[in-house]
């Protein structure tokens, strides 16, 4: 049972990392545009970032449960635990990425955030992979 608890906590950490990539990545993009950081225009980074929030927004619109949350709940059940862990790492990871509210609020937030990410993607586009940066 301890193995399932460790796996569940690992899923929470991965979930928090995913959220961090979306939120902190967007902050880095905005700061990078203002400060003229070249790395924020990397097409692979930008595509991964756009895809990450796009998946979240589309799943929310389609009313599909997050697979990471589903996996974590399954692992917690197998470990004989309640849905929210009481240990330090699990507790704080949950506090950072989960909060209570009606489902439609989350859907609106995800979609609006995705639209803002798309707008920044268009207004501050990544470099095309085939474009030479030597000139």
pLDDT at 103: 80
Domain-by-domain residue ranges, the chain?
2-123
Pick out the chain residues at pLDDT < 70.
Answer: 83-94, 96-99, 130-135
pLDDT at 106: 82
Q: Residue 59 corresponds to which tokens in the numbers above?
A: 């799943």
pLDDT at 135: 47
pLDDT at 84: 57
3-state per-residue secondary structure call for 56-100? HHHHHHCCCCCHHHHHHHHHHHHCCCCCCCCCHHHHHHHHHHCCC
Query: How many angstroms separate the CA atoms of 83 and 17, rounded?
Result: 20
Residue 68 near residue 11 (C-beta atoms within 8 A) = yes
What is the torsional sign of CA 32, 60, 93, 47? negative
pLDDT at 97: 67
pLDDT at 55: 96
Query: How many angstroms separate the CA atoms of 122 and 130, rounded?
Result: 18
């Amino acid at each position: 049972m301890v193995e399932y608890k460790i796996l569940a906590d690992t899923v929470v950490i991965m979930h928090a990392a995913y959220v961090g990539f979306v939120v902190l990545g967007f902050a880095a993009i905005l700061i990078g545009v203002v400060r003229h950081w070249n790395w924020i225009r990397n097409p692979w980074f930008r595509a991964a970032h756009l895809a990450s929030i796009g998946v979240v927004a589309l799943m929310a619109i389609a009313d599909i449960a997050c697979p990471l949350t589903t996996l974590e709940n399954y692992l917690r059940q197998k470990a004989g635990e309640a849905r929210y862990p009481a240990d330090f790492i699990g507790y704080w990871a949950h506090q950072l990425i989960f909060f209570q509210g009606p489902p439609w609020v989350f859907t609106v937030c995800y979609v609006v955030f995705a639209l803002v990410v798309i707008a920044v993607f268009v207004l501050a586009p990544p470099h095309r992979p085939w474009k030479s940066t030597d000139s």
